Amino acid sequence: MTERDVPPKPHTVTIYDVARRAGVAPSTVSRTFSRPGRVNAVTAARVRRVAAEVGYRANPVARALSTARTNMIAVVILDIANPFYAEIVRGAQAAAAAAGYTVVLADAQESDWLERSTLERAVTAVDGIVLASSRMSDLAIRMISKQKPVVVLNRGVVDVPCVVTDNARGARLALEHLSGLGHEHVTYIAGPEASWADGMRWSSLRESAAKLSVRLRRLGPFAPDVRGGVQAAEQFVAQPTSAVVAYNDQLAIGLVRSLITRGIGVPRNVSVVGFDNIAAADLVTPGLTTVAAPLYAQGITATRHVLTMIEGGRDRTGQPAVLPVRLVVRGSTAAPHRSLDPPRPGRGVTTSSP
Amino acid sequence: MTERDVPPKPHTVTIYDVARRAGVAPSTVSRTFSRPGRVNAVTAARVRRVAAEVGYRANPVARALSTARTNMIAVVILDIANPFYAEIVRGAQAAAAAAGYTVVLADAQESDWLERSTLERAVTAVDGIVLASSRMSDLAIRMISKQKPVVVLNRGVVDVPCVVTDNARGARLALEHLSGLGHEHVTYIAGPEASWADGMRWSSLRESAAKLSVRLRRLGPFAPDVRGGVQAAEQFVAQPTSAVVAYNDQLAIGLVRSLITRGIGVPRNVSVVGFDNIAAADLVTPGLTTVAAPLYAQGITATRHVLTMIEGGRDRTGQPAVLPVRLVVRGSTAAPHRSLDPPRPGRGVTTSSP
DNA sequence: CTGAAAGCGCTAACAT
DNA sequence: ATGTTAGCGCTTTCAG
């Protein structure tokens, strides 16, 4: 019934078909598409017309073989279900598209092994790679970075170009906000041990805590998702503080939800601030105060960077590019409720942990 | 300082290098990898050893050019930020990987135009395509389906293989559940007009309503996200019913949230059931009762199907494959609270809309 | 079972 | 500005 049952011979139209029908050499057809300007305007026009008529479509594979460029870059993410990556991917896609590149998304599903094997296959087929958070070792990353242009997001790896957010400033902003509100004792809900960002956030928090005279405590590590936040709540309620900073928004959201379920008010009894500013941060109740990361910009920046490297630009393996952050204040933070605040009143004075 | 500054000649190791070093013909090396069995066991072993030694890695592009198979399939999704697709993609990836294929994820960003242009480029570079919900017209889909194997998810398109969920049964289950609880008047919060699934759900709901003697009303269309649910709430509260069925979980979640904010209890005053059973359905409070779609299975099924078509299998363009659904009952549904239930008591008796 | 040779479709020097 | 001629790295007949 449909026409598609008929043609058993899907002979692809090649450059030669067009060349013959247009009365020019194959190379001219090629040039018309890949090197416009190096061909007479009217000839080019004719070629294009014929190409359109016969429905010619350049075979990207053949082109790739001869140019050694696939015009694809791989963006590796840890978990496609994590909303954190959505904006990053969008940015990457936008930057890539603008340069004529296609993004191949690889979901590592939080598995170091899967990430490596996926990359193993991909590395040969793409021109560059953006690692949007990686579970691989620095060594492994450095290794593949020797084969293809690689830039790492949200993590510092020696000898490999990186783009990170200003975790130090973010941590400071969060703590200053809390301190300004009157909180003197805050808990940090840590993310995965292997997370570079977690380390940065914690150490910056410690520094700021010292300066601001707030006592800081750490709980964790926890999985960086809502479930992890629920677990964190269990430990937290044992000896609560009036404020908490969580490794990321999902952890914070899980914590808040669990706290509320237990009858502990947010921000009435506990103020919570997260990191990242994922879309959900604005949807939960109360809205989550969080350190906003320029997700889209991260994707753009990282991708532009690989693109530059691909085009021959020197991989300025210097300091990582650091993107600015800002504090988005929503409903999850408020001045402490004296009655429930200091677990051990009269004792809390200054200093953070050593 | 690093070794990578030295080699200005990244000469790739080819089949020829291996062949020479192993003392066999290039074709033998090729066979060793692509056609094992057609080569003497010990020769093969030697080749493999040498290959490993020199770090040979087959160039997928060259292979693709000569075989006309890229071993990649494209999975097109509407919105990477929509959690609905996460599991589908996982399933697709699993099925693809099992068959030695790589998934290229294309995010259409809810844009018909972007979807088409992306596909335009991808179609030449992949062996098959899975359209996990598409905004394109049936005609456009049918068009590309003539160039490459395509299977459509969650939508019926004539002459194109599809895999859908049992919307009819899902709608029935939802309504039976509500009816069984004692609800006699339910509102359907509709999704996008262009959604095939929305049409199916609505018509099935109508049928079931007639049989169960529940009065059914429709509100919408609304964007299929949390924000849409919030909007729906505004209209809903004007003339509420004791129960509502939403086009999808996100809409339901937005509705519930908004209702609670307005002081309307769920399920105390209004029972809500969604569709899809996305991860968040189990995380919100109260948990969302929903018609669970076998997301992962959808991805698997659709992908296996394209794979079959790619391998030459006849594209059984018959009836769409329909996957089973089940009702997951959580906290968002309960027996109606007589006091607030029928907007106009004494009137509600039977029949649904025509 | 293994060699030799002919491309896959396109681009990239060389020539003209 | 356009035509010619080699390949890119791999698979695949076709012989031996």
Measured distance CA(A185)–CA(A267) in Å, rounded: 15
Q: Does B311 touch chain A (CB under 8 A)?
A: no
Give chain B's end-to-end CA distance (angstroms, integer): 79
| Cβ atoms within 10 Å of A180's Cβ, excluding its own | 10
Instruction: State whether B61 and A65 contact (CB < 8 Å).
Output: yes
What is the percent of chain B where pLDDT is above 70? 91
Q: Does B122 touch chain A (CB under 8 A)?
A: yes
Measured distance CA(A185)–CA(A188) in Å, rounded: 10
Q: Angle B99-B163-B275 (CA atoms, 0-180°, nearest 5)?
A: 115
Measured distance CA(B295)–CA(A167) in Å, rounded: 36
Give the minimum alpha-carbon distance from A318 to chain B in angstroms, rounded to a whole number: 12
What stretch(es) of chain B map to CATH 1.10.260.40?
A: 3-67
Residue A243 Cα to chain centre, angstroms: 27
**Subset of residues 63-102 in chain A with CB less than 7 angstroms from any atom in strand D:** 65-66, 68
User: A5, A104, A278, A282: best mutation site toward chain B, by most B Cβ within 10 Å?
Assistant: A104
B13 vs A contacts (CB less than 8 Å):
none
A17 CA vs C4 C1’ separation (Å): 30
Cis peptide before B240 (omega within 30 of 0): no
What is the percent of chain B where pLDDT is above 90? 69
Measured distance CA(B274)–CA(B84) in Å, rounded: 13
Q: Does B237 touch chain A (CB under 8 A)?
A: no
The pLDDT of residue B111 is: 81
What stretch(es) of chain A map to CATH 3.40.50.2300?
A: 72-165+295-323, 167-293
pLDDT in tens, chain A (354 residues): 333 333 344 578 999 999 999 999 999 999 999 998 899 999 999 999 999 999 999 999 999 999 999 999 999 998 888 888 989 999 999 999 899 898 888 888 778 888 888 888 888 889 999 999 888 899 999 999 988 999 999 999 999 999 999 999 999 999 999 999 999 999 999 999 888 999 999 999 999 999 999 999 999 899 998 899 999 999 999 999 999 999 999 999 999 999 998 999 999 999 999 999 988 888 788 899 999 999 999 999 999 999 999 987 666 656 789 999 999 999 999 999 765 444 443 333 333 333
| Tens digits of residue pLDDT in B138-175 | 999 999 998 899 999 999 999 999 999 999 999 999 99
Q: According to the CATH classification, is domain B167-293 in 3.30.460.80? A: no
CB distance B332 to B177 below 8 Å: no
Measured distance CA(B76)–CA(B85) in Å, rounded: 10
Query: pLDDT at residue B183 above 50?
Result: yes
**Does residue B40 lie within 7 Å of nucleic acid chain D, judged by its CB?**
no
> Nearest nt (C1') to A25 (CA)?
D3
Residue nearest the C1' of C11 (CA based): A66
The pLDDT of residue A348 is: 33
Measured distance CA(A146)–CA(A151) in Å, rounded: 11
Query: What 8-state DSSP symbol labels residue A287?
Result: P
| Tens digits of residue pLDDT in B85-102 | 989 999 999 999 899 898
Helices A15-22 and A26-34 cross at an angle (nearest 10°) of: 110
A129 CA vs D12 C1’ separation (Å): 33
Which residues are B275's β-sheet partners?
B291
Sheet strand arrangement including A321-323: A102-107, A72-77, A128-132, A150-153, A162-165, A321-323
pTM: predicted TM-score of the whole model, two decimal places: 0.84
| Interacting residues of B228 by C-beta distance below 8 A, sequence separation 6+ | B191, B222, B250, B251, B254
A69 CA vs C11 C1’ separation (Å): 11
The pLDDT of residue B251 is: 96
Sheet strand arrangement including B271-276: B215-219, B185-189, B243-246, B271-276, B289-292, B326-328
User: Where is average pLDDT lowest: A55-59, B23-27, B308-312?
Assistant: B308-312
Query: Given its phi and psi angles, is residue B68 left (phi above 0), alpha (psi -120 to 50 degrees) or beta?
Result: left
The residue count of chain A comes to: 354
Class of domain A3-67: mainly alpha
| Interacting residues of B138 by C-beta distance below 8 A, sequence separation 6+ | B157, B158
B104 vs A contacts (CB less than 8 Å):
102, 104-105
Sign of CA dihedral B337, B338, B344, B348: positive
A22 CA vs D1 C1’ separation (Å): 16
Distances in Å between the Cα of B118 and the Cα atoms of A62, B111, B157, B228, B249 are 19, 10, 20, 27, 28
Residue whose tokens read 């076998």: B294
User: Where is average pLDDT lowest: A180-184, B72-76, B78-82?
Assistant: B78-82
* Confidence bin at B346 (pLDDT 50/70/90): very low
The pLDDT of residue A354 is: 33
Question: Is A58 exposed, middle or buried, given 0-12, 13-18 or 19+ CB atoms closer than 10 A?
Answer: middle
| Tens digits of residue pLDDT in B217-268 | 999 899 998 899 999 999 999 999 999 999 999 999 999 999 998 999 999 9
Measured distance CA(B104)–CA(B89) in Å, rounded: 10
User: Where is average pLDDT lowest: B31-35, B95-99, B110-114?
Assistant: B110-114
Measured distance CA(B320)–CA(A345) in Å, rounded: 67
The pLDDT of residue B314 is: 66
Q: Does B58 touch chain A (CB under 8 A)?
A: yes
Cα-flanking dihedrals φ and ψ of residue B111, to 5°?
A: -110, 120
Measured distance CA(B225)–CA(B280) in Å, rounded: 12
Measured distance CA(A296)–CA(A293) in Å, rounded: 9
CB distance B223 to B192 below 8 Å: yes
CB distance B88 to B58 below 8 Å: no
Query: pLDDT at residue B343 above 70?
Result: no
Q: Using alpha carbons, select from B309, B326, B308, B302 the residue that is nearest to residue B88.
A: B302
Residue whose tokens read 């030295």: B6
Residue nearest the C1' of C6 (CA based): B66
Q: Which amino acid is at B115?
A: E
CB distance A278 to A246 below 8 Å: no
The pLDDT of residue B284 is: 80
A257 vs B contacts (CB less than 8 Å):
283, 285
Domain A72-165+295-323 adopts which CATH fold? Answer: Rossmann fold (3.40.50)
| Mean pLDDT of the region B45-54 | 96
The residue count of chain B comes to: 354
A93 CA vs D7 C1’ separation (Å): 33
Cα-flanking dihedrals φ and ψ of residue B268, to 5°?
A: -45, -55
Q: Using alpha carbons, select from A140, A219, A207 the residue that is nearest to residue A171.
A: A207
